[in-house]
Structure 1
Amino acid sequence: MIVAGLGGGEGIRIVLETEEAMLLSELADQVDSVLLLGEADDPALGRLLPNAYPEDLEASEEFTRYTRDSLVDGKRQAAQSVRDATAVDHVDAGVVQIELDQAQAWGWLTFLTDLRLILAERVGVDDDEGDADVETRDDYLRAAYEWAGFVQGSMLEVLDPIKP
Structure 2
Amino acid sequence: MIVAGREGGADGVRIVLETEEAMLLSELADQVDSVLLLGGDDDPALGRLLPNAYPDDATNARDFARYTRESLVDGKRQAAQSVRDATATERGSGIVEIELDQAQAWDWLTFLTDLRLILAERVGVVDEDADEADEQRDDYLRAAYEWAGIVQGSMLEVLDPMQG
Counterpart CA distance in 1 for 2:163 and 2:156 is 13
Q: What amino acid is the match of 1:162?
A: M
| Matched-pair contact (CA < 8 Å) for 2:11–2:159 | no
Q: In the alignment, which residue of structure 2 is the partner of 1:149?
A: 149
Q: In the alignment, which residue of structure 2 is the partner of 1:105?
A: 105
- The count of aligned residue pairs is 163
How far is 1:131 from its partner?
4.7
5+ residue gaps, structure 2, are none
Q: Which has the higher strand share?
A: 1
How far is 1:33 from its partner?
0.2
How far is 1:74 from its partner?
0.1
How far is 1:50 from its partner?
0.1
Q: In the alignment, which residue of structure 2 is the partner of 1:137?
A: 137
How far is 1:150 from its partner?
0.2
Q: Which moved more, 1:38-47 or 1:131-140?
A: 131-140
How far is 1:137 from its partner?
1.1
Residues 131, 51 of structure 1: CA spacing in aligned structure 2 closer, same or farther, 3 A cutoff? farther
Q: In the alignment, which residue of structure 2 is the partner of 1:84?
A: 85
Residues 55, 77 of structure 1: CA spacing in aligned structure 2 closer, same or farther, 3 A cutoff? same
Between the aligned residues of both structures, percent identity stands at 79
| Matched-pair contact (CA < 8 Å) for 1:4–1:14 | yes
Moved over 4 A (4+): none
Other structure's SS at 1:3 match: strand
Counterpart CA distance in 2 for 1:8 and 1:90 is 31
Counterpart CA distance in 1 for 2:11 and 2:115 is 25
Counterpart CA distance in 1 for 2:152 and 2:33 is 19
Superposed CA RMSD: 2.0
1:72 to 2:73 alignment: yes
Q: What amino acid is the match of 2:127?
A: D
Give the TM-score normalised by the residue count of structure 2: 0.93
| Matched-pair contact (CA < 8 Å) for 2:36–2:46 | yes
User: Within 5 A, what are the aligned runs for 1:1-164?
Assistant: 1-6=1-6, 7-89=8-90, 94-127=94-127, 130-131=130-131, 133=133, 136-162=136-162
Residues 36, 137 of structure 1: CA spacing in aligned structure 2 closer, same or farther, 3 A cutoff? same
Counterpart CA distance in 2 for 1:74 and 1:130 is 31
| Matched-pair contact (CA < 8 Å) for 1:90–1:96 | no
Once the two structures are superposed, what CA deviation does each residue of 1:87-106 show, in whole Å capped at 9, x if it has no partner?
014975x0000000000000
How far is 1:121 from its partner?
0.3
Counterpart CA distance in 1 for 2:131 and 2:69 is 29
Counterpart CA distance in 2 for 1:73 and 1:4 is 29
Counterpart CA distance in 2 for 1:100 and 1:153 is 16
